[in-house]
Structure 1
Amino acid sequence: MPPPAEPARASVAPRPAPARFATAGDALRTVYGFDAFRGEQAAIIDQVVDGGDAVVLMPTGAGKSVCYQIPALVREGTGLVVSPLIALMHDQVDALRANGVRAEYLNSTQAPQERARVERAYVSGEIDLLYVAPERLNSPATVGLLARGSLSVIAIDEAHCVSQWGHDFRPDYLALGDLDERFPGVPRLALTATATPATHREIAERLRMPTARHFVASFDRPNIQYRIEPKVEPRKQLLAFLRSQPEGAAGIVYALSRKSVDQTAQYLRTQGLDALAYHAGLDAETRARHQARFLRDDGVIMVATIAFGMGIDKPDVRFVAHIDLPKSVEGYYQETGRAGRDGDPSVAWMAYGLGDVVQQRRMIDQSPGDRTYKMRLGQHLDAMLALCETVGCRRQNLLGYFGQDSGACGNCDTCLTPPETWDGLIPAQKLLSTIVRLQRERGQAFGAGHLVDILRGARTERISQQRHDELKTYGIGADLSEQDWRSVIRQLLARGILVAKGEYGTLAPGEPAGAVLSGEAPVPLRRDVLGRGGGGGGSRARRAPASASLDEADQPVFEALRTWRSEQAREQGVPAYIVFGDATLRALAEHRPRTSGDLSAIPGIGEKKREAYGEAVLAVIASS
């Protein structure tokens, strides 16, 4: 889309906002209250401050936002941030304002007079950071507005949305490749926490950033413990997991359908848990109210479809649970990455079963798109199944998907309790023989449940009516339980030895089945164990709360500060972490500063927060 004509641009002379800080280090200390950058933050910031482009792959919680916020405070002009979600804009603007940064957004939630105020402030050079959605950047009016002011930097957040093969493609991101022509000379950053090497290359190509310097941080989130267990009674398993978490912990439970979300949230409420539902079928007011409670109150569990969560800045999410299989490793990584942004121990738990595999395969078969598109969806699912079925380290498998080598982590379920393997060749041959006989002798195909009944010699009405008790394979699998057979079928589906077909998920031999039937291919299987990661068994034992790492004498101070923080957040109508994060409260409880000058040594307290909260914090500490 071409920029407005030059006369329109010249109607108001641009007035760039003066640089707020002489150096990036000054901005870090004054605004954020930290003395040193983490990882490659400093190198990224130097690249952008010097006028260069950057493509940044950095895991959630590693500090991506600092990489564009600080250049906007050091360079003259206003930093433009392209953000895909309104909720994310609101949270980040609130957090920046709390730190004394002049931040604003333009989106559909604003009244006309409010948008007009922001537009005037931008043209007058009175804004440090301006957040907009990619859809709004495709509006000629917005492009014209931006041309009337002066931009210091352009940040494209969640840049993986530009990938047409990715899990979260958004067509409006494709138009962002024109930003270099619309605003020549303005450095750009493309940032994401989720990208394979192929997606990484696609980001640079589609956003037309051929000279950008690439920064790829480790994808490892060592504070997250990954657990996956076989799905038997998912809601009871979920409840047992939730009851093993810290008292008052907040978390997210993902389900595939709106119906499942509503039913699961209702079930958890009947069990005494503070659970809310979130999906696109709820009205906007209800979604906003539930999201606000999740962000601002302790102990809230959000049960949601994947419509919830991208860009959620809540740092103290202690767990993310999946009761349905995600469609891709990218989606799983992004969703689990919403846990533990503060660096404290967190858990990613999932229950995964045979029905998930059949359902996902059926959805791929029924999806619109050509053969190439469906093949790509199948590849995503295969990688997700490989993560679920691995007998090795989960984290090693996950990082390997993103092109990162690593050793065993020692902190996932398969490392903590290595799974047993067993020889599944004979059961696989029995199952395949049954499928082949039904097809050749009777022209029939069935799903997993009926096939297991045949193999176990069940006396069901359907078996009698179909005379399947006359099959040579009838009853030859009675040595395995129904749950064992479902595990066998799930793992054979995951490896392509079986395929699910049609609307009803009937099973058929896959390409590798011939070698299995002939005995030429081994079939090692993992032996399922319920509650492998410590989430099973129905235990009500809870892990330690956020103050547990403190000495016993410091814990009452932490709790007093936490109560004070909640009151402040409630009065201001903002999430508690915008006042202070748990890490800052722990540092305050441990060091117990006595003067305003002492507060400068506490990480996370910049000048604005010291002025706003210093006296109150010192009073709470003195009286505890």
Structure 2
Amino acid sequence: MSSPATIDADRSRAAHDVLRRVYGYHEFRGDQQPIIEHVCAGGDAIVLMPTGGGKSLCYQIPAIVRPGTGLVVSPLIALMHDQVEALEAWGVRAAYLNSTQSPDERARVEDQYRQGELDLLYVAPERLSQPGMREFLRQGSLSVIAIDEAHCVSQWGHDFRPDYLALGDLAEHFPGVPRMALTATATEHTHREMTERLNLASARHFVASFDRANIHYRIEPKVEVRRQLVSFIRSQSVDGPVSGIVYALSRNTVMQTAEYLQQQGIAALPYHAGLDAAVRAEHQSRFLREEGLVIVATIAFGMGIDKPDVRFVAHIDLPKSVEGYYQETGRAGRDGEPSVAWMVYGLGDVVQQRRFIQQGGGDRAIQLRQNSHLDAMLALCETVSCRRQNLLAYFGESTSACGNCDTCATPPEVWDGLIPAQKLLSTIVRLRRERNQGFGASHLIDILRGADTERIRKFQHTELATYGIGNDLNDAQWRSVVRQMLAQGLMLTEGDYGTLTLSHKSAEVLAGSTAVHLRHDVVQRASQSRKQAVAKRSASAGAPLNDADRDLFEALRTWRAATAREQSVPAYIVFADVTLRALAERRPRSLDELKGITGIGAKKLEAYGEDVLSEIATFEESVPAPADD
């Protein structure tokens, strides 16, 4: 009988063999190895790992190594096809069961499962809740159960899915099958909810750093949002069009922004829940398969998006929470290449989000939680220190200043805003006490700046003691003061029209007993390109290519695009950019040399090896030899 140590060593060798033979990788990254070995040995696991950190391999490899089929609970039916397609390209036996299939297709997959012919089976949580589904699963053998996007179990979270709550009893139905809960987005509170609601109290917890070092974070004040967006996108496309995602809050904004980008010559498509399902599927498919396409979307788009070469994520409206912002920006740069998370936000965003919370109909506890989420988001926007430090601190992680965000690259100037804050609050107090009136920011700014408007004349606000005492600041500066005071909780908004009112902190400001530090807004004249940004790279990205290797890299990209079109698959399923980069640098001349290139497993070597060698040889023949001195 083999000893436990021998068995563990065998499992470790088997996991490494799959990593190398199937996926073409030669080393595990981060915590991948201990996670995989723990699950292969039959242990339960909770895995918190950032997008692009190699989370999928943590359940895919145990599913291949252990006998039986790995069950993957995935929240988005629309993405299962692409996930399975990518696995099949690696030579992994994978399938899904969902409502898009015909009865014959489902019957074929069900039979494959019963016969033990699948390594991985993807299902949505809603299907797993259907009567008879668990009985069907007992007709085969499960190797591992992986609950992906497990933060969806959190009732306080931004992506709550009720059917995730029913996944906690899987241990009862399938005793002895190791279970995994995986996510890229979890605060300490969400982490606890995942553990409790999924009945994973005895699981081992693996928490990787949430830092995405290759992403450059930048937040700017919203001035002319569409023009700012076009300028930003063009700055990212100096070497040709790049893929990106633009997030907006409403369907109307999505449609209007996509149309505007198209008018400016930028290839863009809209995506939101109000579009016909066939249109949504087509737009998502095009985004995944085409290079240089921009998708403009509500948050209905994105969870689980596997496209590795998204070069930017832009927000033109303020996200509701840091969790949502982190998850959405995490869709950029999954390949480790320099990428940008860009956002514009203004006073209107703050007022709108507060109004949504007030009108949401939730009880006091829900509103307090939503306000705390928004407060954290505003703190990230208004910070004068490193944005990455602020972002990671929200998830309980500390780090030094990153050097790869706008506040590190150009530290904002801070000024003493006590006097302007007192002027504004005094105006609010006088209107309330003397006239029983309340107004939004625009009218209060007009009063402070001594404007001559019909509304001021109508209400005789020229008679107020504070009329005209703020004409030392222009309109944009005053709006910045209002926005930052709201973000710091120095005053509040109420009602449908964003009426400004006092908070519990206002009295200290009026009394001069607290400091009011405000940052000078800086509107970028021209947004930095990815090349100009400090943009740290992950270890997988390596150093920039030299000119000769860059030319070969582009030739290989052209070949990859043609191959992907011919096979009707996304380009990254053929090869990722990191593989093309390695090919361009090392220029292999034989199939044996190709085996050493990252990302080329046995199936891809067989499918593309000869073609790749031919492309490299053709390129080298076309390049003139250097002249003799």
Q: Take 2:400 and 2:562, find their aligned partners in 1: how far apart are those partners?
A: 45
2:300 to 307, 322, 342: 307
Alignment of 1:277-288 (within 5 A): 277-288=270-281
Offset at residue 368 of structure 1 (A): 2.0
Offset at residue 369 of structure 1 (A): 1.6
Q: Take 2:232 and 2:241, find their aligned partners in 1: how far apart are those partners?
A: 14
Q: Give the equivalent residue in structure 2 for 1:597.
A: 592
1:574 to 554, 569, 573: 569
Q: Take 1:559 and 1:23, find their aligned partners in 2: how far apart are those partners?
A: 36
Q: Give the equivalent residue in structure 1 for 2:441.
A: 448
Q: Take 1:142 and 1:558, find their aligned partners in 2: how far apart are those partners?
A: 47
Q: Is 1:377 aligned to 2:370, yes or no? A: yes
1:243–1:541 Cα contact (<8 Å) kept: no
Offset at residue 552 of structure 1 (A): 1.3
Alignment of 1:238-249 (within 5 A): 238-246=229-237, 247-249=240-242
Q: Take 2:437 and 2:407, find their aligned partners in 1: how far apart are those partners?
A: 39
Offset at residue 151 of structure 1 (A): 0.1
1:21–1:27 Cα contact (<8 Å) kept: no
1:262 to 222, 237, 255: 255
Q: Take 1:454 and 1:557, find their aligned partners in 2: how far apart are those partners?
A: 63
Q: Give the equivalent residue in structure 2 for 1:95.
A: 86
Offset at residue 526 of structure 1 (A): 0.6
1:511 to 504, 508, 513: 504
Q: Give the equivalent residue in structure 2 for 1:163.
A: 154
1:21–1:73 Cα contact (<8 Å) kept: no
Offset at residue 142 of structure 1 (A): 1.4
Q: Is 1:392 aligned to 2:385, yes or no? A: yes
Name which of structure 1's ranges 231-240 and 476-485 shifts more when overlaid on structure 2.
231-240
Q: Is 1:421 aligned to 2:409, yes or no? A: no
1:427–1:477 Cα contact (<8 Å) kept: yes
Q: Give the equivalent residue in structure 2 for 1:531.
A: 524
Amino acid at match of 2:192: R
Amino acid at match of 2:293: V
2:428–2:501 Cα contact (<8 Å) kept: yes
1:559 match: secondary structure = helix
Q: Give the equivalent residue in structure 2 for 1:49.
A: 40
1:433 to 426, 439, 454: 426
Amino acid at match of 2:612: V
2:339–2:530 Cα contact (<8 Å) kept: no
Q: Give the equivalent residue in structure 1 for 2:5.
A: none
2:478 match: secondary structure = helix
Aligned residues: 602
Offset at residue 424 of structure 1 (A): 0.4
2:130 to 139, 160, 164: 139
2:338–2:530 Cα contact (<8 Å) kept: no
2:244 match: secondary structure = strand
Gaps of 5+ in 2: 1-9, 536-540, 620-629
**In the TM superposition, what whole-angstrom CA distance separates every residue of 1:445-497 from its partner, at most 9, and x where no partner exists?**
00000000000000101101110111110000000000000000001101111
2:492 match: secondary structure = strand
Q: Take 1:380 and 1:214, find their aligned partners in 2: how far apart are those partners?
A: 25
Amino acid at match of 2:144: V
Q: Give the equivalent residue in structure 1 for 2:181.
A: 190
Offset at residue 248 of structure 1 (A): 1.8
1:101 match: secondary structure = coil
1:252 match: secondary structure = strand
Alignment of 1:52-63 (within 5 A): 52-63=43-54
Q: Give the equivalent residue in structure 1 for 2:312.
A: 319
Q: Give the equivalent residue in structure 1 for 2:558.
A: 563
Name which of structure 1's ranges 568-577 and 59-68 shifts more when overlaid on structure 2.
568-577
Q: Give the equivalent residue in structure 1 for 2:458.
A: 465
Offset at residue 367 of structure 1 (A): 0.6
1:407 match: secondary structure = coil
1:249–1:299 Cα contact (<8 Å) kept: yes
Q: Give the equivalent residue in structure 2 for 1:363.
A: 356
1:195–1:330 Cα contact (<8 Å) kept: yes
Structure-2 change in CA distance of 1:21 and 1:423 (3 Å): closer
Q: Take 1:586 and 1:38, find their aligned partners in 2: how far apart are those partners?
A: 19
2:215–2:338 Cα contact (<8 Å) kept: yes
**In the TM superposition, what whole-angstrom CA distance separates every residue of 1:7-27 from its partner, at most 9, and x where no partner exists?**
xxxxxxxxxxxx999610000
Q: Take 1:540 and 1:48, find their aligned partners in 2: how far apart are those partners?
A: 39
2:581 match: secondary structure = helix
2:70 match: secondary structure = strand
Offset at residue 144 of structure 1 (A): 1.5
Offset at residue 555 of structure 1 (A): 2.2
Q: Take 1:152 and 1:410, find their aligned partners in 2: how far apart are those partners?
A: 44
**In the TM superposition, what whole-angstrom CA distance separates every residue of 1:532-574 from its partner, at most 9, and x where no partner exists?**
8x528xx999999x99921211222212211111111111111
1:297 to 290, 294, 317: 290
**In the TM superposition, what whole-angstrom CA distance separates every residue of 1:81-137 from its partner, at most 9, and x where no partner exists?**
000012321111111100000000001110110000000000000000000000000
Q: Is 1:608 aligned to 2:599, yes or no? A: no
2:423–2:466 Cα contact (<8 Å) kept: yes
Amino acid at match of 2:594: L
Q: Give the equivalent residue in structure 2 for 1:205.
A: 196
Indicate the percent of aligned positions where both proteins have the same amino acid: 70
Q: Give the equivalent residue in structure 1 for 2:623.
A: none
Q: Give the equivalent residue in structure 1 for 2:167.
A: 176
Q: Is 1:623 aligned to 2:614, yes or no? A: no
Amino acid at match of 1:126: E
Q: Give the equivalent residue in structure 1 for 2:225.
A: 234
Q: Take 2:50 and 2:425, find their aligned partners in 1: how far apart are those partners?
A: 43
Q: Give the equivalent residue in structure 2 for 1:127.
A: 118
Q: Take 2:532 and 2:155, find their aligned partners in 1: how far apart are those partners?
A: 43
Q: Give the equivalent residue in structure 1 for 2:21.
A: 30
Q: Give the equivalent residue in structure 1 for 2:580.
A: 585
Offset at residue 612 of structure 1 (A): 0.5
Name which of structure 1's ranges 314-323 and 565-574 shifts more when overlaid on structure 2.
565-574
Offset at residue 603 of structure 1 (A): 0.3
Question: What TM-score do the two structures reach when normalised by structure 1?
Answer: 0.95
Q: Take 2:530 and 2:37, find their aligned partners in 1: how far apart are those partners?
A: 50
Q: Take 1:193 and 1:514, find their aligned partners in 2: how far apart are those partners?
A: 41
1:240–1:540 Cα contact (<8 Å) kept: no
Structure-2 change in CA distance of 1:318 and 1:414 (3 Å): same
Q: Take 1:172 and 1:317, find their aligned partners in 2: how far apart are those partners?
A: 30
2:11–2:40 Cα contact (<8 Å) kept: no
Gaps of 5+ in 1: 1-18
Q: Give the equivalent residue in structure 2 for 1:9.
A: none
Q: Take 1:116 and 1:231, find their aligned partners in 2: how far apart are those partners?
A: 53
2:12–2:37 Cα contact (<8 Å) kept: no
**In the TM superposition, what whole-angstrom CA distance separates every residue of 1:232-272 from its partner, at most 9, and x where no partner exists?**
11111111111110322100000000000000111111110
2:11–2:41 Cα contact (<8 Å) kept: no
2:311–2:333 Cα contact (<8 Å) kept: yes
2:311 match: secondary structure = strand
2:22 match: secondary structure = helix
1:329–1:398 Cα contact (<8 Å) kept: yes
Q: Is 1:348 aligned to 2:326, yes or no? A: no
Structure-2 change in CA distance of 1:540 and 1:580 (3 Å): closer
Name which of structure 1's ranges 73-82 and 287-296 shifts more when overlaid on structure 2.
287-296
1:20–1:73 Cα contact (<8 Å) kept: no
Amino acid at match of 1:171: P
1:52–1:212 Cα contact (<8 Å) kept: yes
